[in-house]
Amino acid sequence: MPFPSGADLRPDAVSAMLDAVPDDPWFSWSYIQNNAESLGAAFTEHVELTALAMLFAAVLAIPLGILAYRTRWLTAPILALSGVLYTVPSLALFALLAPFMGLTATTVLVGLVMYALLIIVRGTLTGLRQVPEEVRDAADGMGYGSFAMLMRIEIPLALPSILTGLRIAAVSTVALVTVGAVLGKGGLGGLILSGFRNNLYKPQIVTATVLCVALALACDLLLSWLGKLVTPWTRKAVAS
């Protein structure tokens, strides 16, 4: 979803602000030292929103992906609904949710979960569909029932695809949290937006942006490590 824009963030307006503050450095250690508390609070809010959104999205989307796989007539409706939710512009979504939830962190959280659903549902469904048919036949011949096959055969083999979906959704969610700045609940996005509005205060913009990128990379690396930890057979397959 694109970052919200307005008249104060148009390219010509930004260019004018740049010209107005030619001596303002893009990076400043003194800014970090003097604003460590506000940076820490914004970073903590960003992490909390990302973690909660990913938790709720995974709890909803993985079962939906399994349901779409097991109940074929529900596949198209589930994908269509999650796809429609993903395509709703962020500001329009907030406008729809605000009358019911107010301009709160809950509104931002609901939006983040909605945007992550499609990615995780598709990852889950793709992983389950990629389980080799001969593996299912062998499990069926060994007496595995439908539930046992799902839990002991299909989901474990689908884990790499599921975790890939979670990684993509996590990085996307870190970026989308910044949009919550329009509601005052955007974590580091609030610092980025206020930096643009405060005579283009460059150190604030760059510091918050670097922290946001670092958080996205950390999420990706953490989930990548977790994937290798829970799917050791994939490492053996690559090594062989």
pLDDT digits (tens, 9 = 90+) for 196-215: 877 667 888 888 999 999 99
| Whole-angstrom Cα Rg for the chain | 22
The CATH code of the domain at 7-229 is 1.10.3720.10
Instruction: Decide: 72 and 125 in contact? Cβ < 8 Å.
Output: no
**Helix residue spans in the chain (DSSP H):** 11-20, 29-34, 36-70, 75-87, 90-101, 105-129, 133-141, 146-149, 155-177, 188-197, 202-230, 232-239
pLDDT band at 4 (very low <50, low <70, confident <90, very high): very low
Name the more confident of 1 and 41.
41
pLDDT band at 10 (very low <50, low <70, confident <90, very high): low
Residues ≥6 apart with Cβ < 8 Å to 239 = none
Residues ≥6 apart with Cβ < 8 Å to 131 = 153, 154, 157, 158
Instruction: Decide: 208 and 39 in contact? Cβ < 8 Å.
Output: yes
Q: Report the predicted TM-score, pTM, of the whole model to 2 decimal places.
A: 0.83
Chain centroid, CA 175 distance in Å: 7
Tokens, residue 209: 């942006």
CA distance 240 to 237: 5
* pLDDT surpassing 90 at residue 107: no
pLDDT recorded at residue 169: 95
